[in-house]
A = this chain, B = another copy of it.
Amino acid sequence: MMTWGESHGEALGVVVDGCPAGIELSAADIQHELDRRRPGMSEIASERREADEVLILSGVFEGKTLGSPISMLVWNRDVDSTPYEEIKHIARPGQADYSYQMKYGLRDYRGGGRASGRETLARVAAGAIARKVLAYHNIEIVGHVVEIGGIRARARARARARAKRVELKEIKRNAEMNAVRCADPEAAVQMQELIKRAKREGDSVGGIVEVIATGVPPGLGEPVFDKLDAELAKALMSIGAVKGVEIGVGFGAARMRGSEMNDEFYIDTEDGRIRTRTNNAGGILGGISTGEPVICRVAVKPTPSIAKPQRSVDMARMEEVELRIRGRHDPCICPRIVPVAEAMVALVLIDYMMIMRGGRLETMRQK
C-alpha cells in the first residue's frame, strides 16, 4: 500500500498492491467506510464538508479484483487555503510544521499539507478492501471510543478480558448510534457535552480508542521482530494523533501480579479447542495470535489546532509571535480515528494472512 496527496493539493489517493484476485469490489464498498471517517456532526466536529467521492482507477475489472494494483483517488474540493496564507511561516504548536520544515526545507503549508489528518482517508480506503478480504475468513474488526477527556465508557461498553462475539455486536451497534462512537450511551452524552464545552473555550480534548478483531486464526505473527503486536503498534502509532498503543490490558499489566495477568488455558467443551478463560494478553502470546479476540487501544491527543492564542515562532523571520488559528477544526478527533484505527488493524491482519514464513509445512501455499 502506498498513499499520496496533500490536504489542499489536487487529490489524495492510495495504491493497494497484493489484493487477491476475484474479490467483488465496487466504489460503494469503499465509500461506505470513507463516509464513516467524514466529519458529520455540526456541533462536535469540523465543518469542512467534502463529498470525498472515491474513484477506482485500476485493478478491478467487471466488478472483480484482478490481483493487480488497485488505484483509488479522491479529488480535493471545498478547499479554502486562505486561513493558512497568513500563518504560513509559523510553526503551529503540536503540528508537524517545524519538523517538516527541518526535514524537507520546504512544505505545503495549506491545510497541513502531507501531515494533514486528511491523509487518513487513503488508509480508510485501503482498509475497506482489506476488510472485504478478511470477511472471507470471518475476521471482523470493531472500533469504538472508550474514553474522552477523562470520561470513560463503563466496563460493559469496553472489550473485556474475555470478549465474546455477541458483546462485540452490541458494542458495534451502540457505538455507531452516537456522534462520539462510544458504546456506553450515558458516557456518550457526557463526552459530547465535554467536547462542546472545549469548543466553546477555543480548546480541544483527547481520548482513547479501542479496536477489537474477532475470528483471527491462531498463528499470525512473525517472531522475533515482525510479531503481530509489533506490527499493530507500528500501524496504529503511524496515525497522526496517536501517542500510545497498548495490547490487551496494556499499561495495566505494569500493576498486575503474574498470577492475575496470566490467562489460564482450558478446553472449550463446545468445539474441543484450547482457549483461555481470560484475555489479558489481548489475543497475542509471543507475538503470535492465539485465536482469542485481538484487542488494542490507542491514546489520541487533543486536536492541536485550537482557537486559543498560543505563543510560537515565525520560522522565516525567526522571531517569536502570538498565533491565532482560524479555520474549521474538530475539537475532538477520537470518533474519526475509529475507522482509521480499524483500517490499520485490518491492513496488518491481511498482510499476515497472505504471508507464510516459517509456519507449518502443510499450510504452505498449494500449487
Contacts and interface: CB of A to CB of B under 8 A. Distances in A.
Given A13-B57, A364-B20, A224 B282 contact: no
B22 A2 contact: no
B247 A98 contact: no
Contacts of A243: 229, 246-251, 253, 281-282
14 contacts: A11-B57, A13-B15, A20-B360, A57-B73, A66-B113, A100-B286, A103-B360, A147-B254, A233-B233, A233-B245, A243-B248, A244-B251, A266-B320, A355-B356
Contacts of A203: 257-259
A142 interface: no
A319 interface: yes
Contacts of A204: 257-259
A67 B98 contact: no
Interface stretch (A30-38, A41-49, A104-112, A173-181): A104-112
A66 B106 contact: yes
B106 A64 contact: yes
A150 interface: yes
Interface stretch (A161-169, A182-190, A294-302): A294-302
A149 interface: yes
A87 interface: no
B66 A285 contact: no
Contacts of A367: 137, 217, 219
Interface in A306-320: 306, 308, 310-313, 315, 318-320
Contacts of A345: none
Contacts of A102: 218-219, 288, 290-291
Contacts of A15: 2, 4, 13, 15
A245 to B, nearest CB: 6
Interface in A152-210: 198, 203-208
Nearest to A237: B233
A79 to B, nearest CB: 14
Contact of A359 (B20, B59, B217): B20
A15 B238 CA distance: 20
A98 B285 contact: yes
Contacts of A149: 254-255, 257
B57 A104 contact: no
A198 to B, nearest CB: 7
Given A94-B261, A251-B251, A262-B304, A103 B67 contact: yes
Given A19-B358, A102-B219, 12 more contacts: A10-B55, A22-B360, A57-B73, A61-B107, A67-B358, A98-B290, A99-B288, A208-B251, A225-B234, A244-B251, A256-B301, A353-B365
